[in-house]
Structure 1
Amino acid sequence: MTLSNTKIFPVLLFLMALPMTAQTISSKLVDPKTQKGIPYATIQYGEHKGVITNDEGRFSFSLDETTAPDSIYISSMGYSKKGFTLAQLQDSVVLLQPKAIELSGVYVFDKELSVDDIIEKMVERVPQNVNKAPVKQRFFLRQSEFVNIDKVDFGFEKSTIEELNKELMDSIALSIPRNGHHYTESLGDLYKNNGKYKLDIIKAADLYDKNQVSSFEELGERMQTIFTQNIKPDSYLKIKSGIFSQKVQVDSILSDMEKEQAKEAEELAQNLEKKKNSGLVDSQRSAFKELLNELYYNENSKLDLIEKNNRYRFTLAGYAEIEDAGVYVIDFEPKRSSAEFKGRLYINIEDFAIMRLDVQNTERLRNFRLLGITYREVLYKGTMRFAQLPNGKYDLRFMDFTFGRYFAVDRPLKVIEKNKHVKGRRKQNELSLNIDFRMSPTQKWELVVFDQTVVPEAQFTNFTEDKTARATYMPTYDPEFWQGHTIMEPNQAIREFTVEE
């Protein structure tokens, strides 16, 4: 998934034309007392332009020296906002002094409001404060997927097919990687309009182990060969798991396999380029839908803070500033057992818009267990930050979100081949297993919006996505890949990512 030639040549020409005018600023933001990096701080280098530090406090951005600002302003909740020159930031460690949240009002109010009054006004103003107009956002999105396989045991008990023996089942269990990592990074423009999304991908990278994918494909082909060589086409399979059983015709399975193979061959011949080039934009659009669906004001979000705020207890923790705007700092926690989240709100004192929201679940969001199958949603954690647009509305500026699950299967599985056309004993073959499988997948999204502009609806409607954009596969992280582009800096795990040979 690399860029098409139509994208590459203009970019190369631009970079070749301006080799001496662009500079990249790289640094690390550190707490002077703890000497630890300050995560997700805002680095402002233009009126509506900025970058966010990563979870280690690292940041970088690229500037055209002809329009370089005199000062770069750095701010983070709990620290004093401070201006720096470009020279002070280049290849250095930047210290930001801690600043406690004010516990008493420092702003002039027409009327002192209780915390319940503030929440009521915030909820009332959501329709007026949330931007619904078409907008174009320059973004960087990093998706990290981690899969930990805690246990794989097929519990082999019996097989009448020589190839489907305990050694094979054990080797399959051992071949499944216990830890998988997949990182996708993309830079581009996102066009949003009332829940609809269009993407213009400038550049993207894909970091994962291709060997794991190919090994699973080979395993599937091997299992299919064993199956077709040992099972009679006119047989049927009786599949039993616990108290349930299902009857499946083998000839229909084989027929479906043949049809599917023929279909795949035809599609491969006719639509190879289409299939090769259309994946990135579609997958990124799906990622945006999944992520942005969790914004606090969306009806389908798991976070029910707006719709069911009466389930939460709110406490005024103090006052602070975000981008020179005064904010109420309000903590929330479950008041009833049916509430599932805790966190902190930063609500604009003037218009009661949420400028920042930090949230984490206090209970499992889902806890399903039936007949040996377990599914849990165990982690829901993140932060959302919003910036005011020229139209007075607020839209997303940054989002860090982690979603963790747990899935397990602990139940018997028996596959019996029967054939009614065989004289005597109808049972031909049998495979008996007792499966014990446990996995913990975690997804993490980091989305930074560097610049955003309200656009006419016609611009959104007339924009056509370029689905030839592809991501560059990386078996080892390449620090030069994003040279000249402003992104969120990778953390240590990504910088050290490499596929073991």
Structure 2
Amino acid sequence: MTTLKPFYILVSLLLFSLNAYAQEVSGKVLSNTKQPIPFATVQIGDGYGVITNEEGRFTINTSAFKRTDSVNISCLGYKKLGMLVKDFSASEYILKEQVNELSEVYLTNRNLSVDSIMYYVGKNIDKNYNTQNIDYKIFSRRTEYIRGHDVDLEIDKSTGVSKKQLKDINNDINQLETSLLNNRSKQYTDLVANLKILNESSSKLEVEKAVRFLDEKNDQSLEKLAEKGKNLVSNHLDKSKIYTVKSGWFKLSDSVSLNTPENNKMEDTINSVGLLKEVMLEKITENSISTNSQLDFVYETKKYDYSLTDVTFLNSEMVYVVAFKPKRGSVDYQGTMYISNATFAVLRADYRFYEGRVGEKFNLRLLLGLKYVEKGKKGSVIYKKSPDGFYYPRYISEQADRYFYVNRPFKFTENGNRSQKFAFDFKVEGTFKEKTELLFISQSPLLTSAYNTLKEKKKVPYKTAKSYSAEIWKDYEVLEPLQELKDFNVEE
């Protein structure tokens, strides 16, 4: 019998040990009552970690750590759970609620009123938060879909159109109506990018990787609806003719040629780095703790009612739990803030529209047949303290429902032969639903040299995937997808 030399045994054991811990750990963080805990931090060592998604799930790579390194799972209001990497292999982790007599004592014998707490929050905004000269690495996930309420296309006049053409047009109309009303597909967009913010007016974006999970056959984005409507008309008109186009009282054009090659201006705009940067900056600015953000409940203290509902803890740090709602009609939000007792920084804010409140809107339904209302908006923002003493966003989630209504007549009149006309009424009503999540992978001071040398590209290198796979983001720290994205699959 052949025997292994001690050297080879040692090497084999070493390789086995390395392979055993070179892995990804996936699990779920739950409360005592087995409820998922969203936005809990799962951290290895001092600077590496992820947060749980809304289902309490996470995935983290442990390959860069030793088996004796520490793992900590923590969340506001719960006791921190610690272990070693070698023991970090369970599918579920239970966090116990942090009940401390200090909170009861404080609430019954408090020396600091909620008005005083909010005063110190406002006084320390500039001291606690920094919004410029920052180099962020960000993972972004957007979920978009439309819920159609009503679609109606009615042909008013169709001179020069045969019965067969008319039948084909009606078939296309029925298909468009059915697809909007019955479709339940969603579009997901994941990407990792570096956002360099010099100041309020100067920033650059570098996209590392971008993936769309999209069923192109059932794409119900607003731009696709517009494209389908345009094609529905152009496919049934003589492309060799020139037309004058009117909508209601307004002449849209007097020289439309349907034979002109399709331009991709809309597609170019949607895929542009500039638009993506604008959207990302808007979310960061809106959810910043400053006197020009949408989080006016932090600084418009005379317009909100506040109540101190609890005192909890983030590890050993005492945290005030402050509920807020509008006192006056000029503000919109209700929700909860979690405020540090040590620095009076807002560590987390959960907000939503107060009952009856809406965001941007316009109503020209009677004059132009157009209506738009932003409603159902809600969000969460979590901040983390950096070694430089400032708090920076760790996670932002925002979602909104945008109701839209379009009811417009269109008339195509052939130039040179005014008797040849094609007219139809177009009505569509629905709600565009959008959710944006930003996970801030890292943050560091922006180097002027790095900013100046970066040449911003024009287009985002999107790739389209027909199903979700963990392999897509295996080399990145990203947000664990919800089950609906894991189940995404486009059938051939």
Name the CA distance, whole Å, in 1 between partners of 2:65 and 2:470. Answer: 26
Instruction: Answer with 435-444 or 163-172: which moved more.
Output: 163-172
1:348 matched to 2:346: no
Instruction: Answer with 97-106 or 113-122: which moved more.
Output: 97-106
Output the TM-score relative to the length of structure 1.
0.80
**Correspondent of 2:177 among 173, 187, 191:** 173
Q: Equivalent residues in 2 for 1:117-136 (5 A)?
A: 117-136=116-135
Cα 1:157–1:105 shift into 2, 3 Å: farther
- In the TM superposition, residue 19 of structure 1 has moved relative to its aligned partner by 7.9
Partner residue in 2 for 1:32: 32
Partner residue in 2 for 1:205: 211
Partner residue in 1 for 2:402: 405
- In the TM superposition, residue 482 of structure 1 has moved relative to its aligned partner by 2.1
Q: Equivalent residues in 2 for 1:243-392 (5 A)?
A: 245-248=249-252, 250=254, 252-254=255-257, 261=261, 264=263, 279=271, 281-297=273-289, 301-362=293-354, 363-370=357-364, 371=366, 372-392=369-389
Report SS of the residue matched to 1:459. Answer: helix
Cα 1:393–1:98 shift into 2, 3 Å: same
Cα 1:193–1:68 shift into 2, 3 Å: farther
- In the TM superposition, residue 296 of structure 1 has moved relative to its aligned partner by 4.1
**Correspondent of 2:393 among 388, 393, 396:** 396
- In the TM superposition, residue 449 of structure 1 has moved relative to its aligned partner by 1.9
- In the TM superposition, residue 54 of structure 1 has moved relative to its aligned partner by 0.8
- 1:346/1:357 contact within 8 Å kept: yes
Matched residue pairs, number? Answer: 456
Report SS of the residue matched to 1:310. Answer: coil
- 1:136/1:452 contact within 8 Å kept: yes
Aligned residue type for 2:388: N
- In the TM superposition, residue 360 of structure 1 has moved relative to its aligned partner by 0.8
Aligned residue type for 1:457: T
- 2:73/2:81 contact within 8 Å kept: yes
Cα 1:133–1:223 shift into 2, 3 Å: closer
Name the CA distance, whole Å, in 2 between partners of 1:47 and 1:462. Answer: 31
Name the CA distance, whole Å, in 1 between partners of 2:124 and 2:206. Answer: 32
- 2:29/2:93 contact within 8 Å kept: yes
Partner residue in 2 for 1:272: none
Report SS of the residue matched to 2:236. Answer: helix
Partner residue in 2 for 1:499: 490
Provide, for residues 274-316 of structure 1, a one-character-per-residue CA deviation record: whole Å limited to 9, x for no partner: x79x947445423312311311435654432245331100111
Name the CA distance, whole Å, in 2 between partners of 1:479 and 1:87. Answer: 23
- In the TM superposition, residue 97 of structure 1 has moved relative to its aligned partner by 1.5
Partner residue in 2 for 1:116: 115
Partner residue in 1 for 2:413: 417
Cα 1:192–1:249 shift into 2, 3 Å: closer
Partner residue in 1 for 2:247: 239
Report SS of the residue matched to 1:226. Answer: coil
Name the CA distance, whole Å, in 2 between partners of 1:65 and 1:430. Answer: 67
Aligned residue type for 1:293: T
Partner residue in 2 for 1:44: 43
Report SS of the residue matched to 2:36. Answer: coil
Aligned residue type for 1:291: K
**Correspondent of 1:429 among 421, 434, 443:** 421
- 1:61/1:486 contact within 8 Å kept: yes
- In the TM superposition, residue 201 of structure 1 has moved relative to its aligned partner by 3.4
- 2:124/2:345 contact within 8 Å kept: yes
- In the TM superposition, residue 224 of structure 1 has moved relative to its aligned partner by 2.2
Report SS of the residue matched to 1:170. Answer: helix
Name the CA distance, whole Å, in 1 between partners of 2:66 and 2:309. Answer: 40
Cα 1:468–1:46 shift into 2, 3 Å: farther
Name the CA distance, whole Å, in 1 between partners of 2:106 and 2:179. Answer: 62
Name the CA distance, whole Å, in 2 between partners of 1:388 and 1:84. Answer: 23
Name the CA distance, whole Å, in 1 between partners of 2:274 and 2:244. Answer: 39
Partner residue in 2 for 1:148: 147
Report SS of the residue matched to 2:286. Answer: coil
Partner residue in 2 for 1:10: none
Aligned residue type for 1:472: K
**Correspondent of 2:190 among 158, 165, 185:** 185
- 1:385/1:399 contact within 8 Å kept: yes
Name the CA distance, whole Å, in 1 between partners of 2:154 and 2:332. Answer: 37
Q: Which runs of 5 or more structure 1 residues have no equivalent in the other structure?
A: 1-17, 268-274
Cα 1:414–1:23 shift into 2, 3 Å: closer
- In the TM superposition, residue 186 of structure 1 has moved relative to its aligned partner by 1.7
Cα 1:154–1:21 shift into 2, 3 Å: same
- In the TM superposition, residue 248 of structure 1 has moved relative to its aligned partner by 4.8
- In the TM superposition, residue 391 of structure 1 has moved relative to its aligned partner by 1.9
Aligned residue type for 1:462: T
- 2:185/2:219 contact within 8 Å kept: no
Name the CA distance, whole Å, in 1 between partners of 2:65 and 2:239. Answer: 71
Cα 1:63–1:155 shift into 2, 3 Å: same
- In the TM superposition, residue 53 of structure 1 has moved relative to its aligned partner by 0.3
- In the TM superposition, residue 68 of structure 1 has moved relative to its aligned partner by 6.0
- In the TM superposition, residue 414 of structure 1 has moved relative to its aligned partner by 4.9
Output the TM-score relative to the length of structure 2.
0.81
- In the TM superposition, residue 63 of structure 1 has moved relative to its aligned partner by 2.8
Identify the structure with bigger relative contact order (alpha carbons < 8 Å, sequence gap 6+): 1
Provide, for residues 45-79 of structure 1, a one-character-per-residue CA deviation record: whole Å limited to 9, x for no partner: 23233211011111011134455663211112232
- 2:78/2:313 contact within 8 Å kept: no
Name the CA distance, whole Å, in 1 between partners of 2:299 and 2:129. Answer: 15
Cα 1:487–1:130 shift into 2, 3 Å: same
Alignment RMSD (CA, Å) = 3.5
Report SS of the residue matched to 1:261. Answer: coil
- 1:296/1:304 contact within 8 Å kept: no
Provide, for residues 324-365 of structure 1, a one-character-per-residue CA deviation record: whole Å limited to 9, x for no partner: 432221111111233211111112222221111111111222
Report SS of the residue matched to 2:93. Answer: strand
Name the CA distance, whole Å, in 2 between partners of 1:418 and 1:284. Answer: 40
Cα 1:352–1:456 shift into 2, 3 Å: same
- 2:81/2:95 contact within 8 Å kept: yes
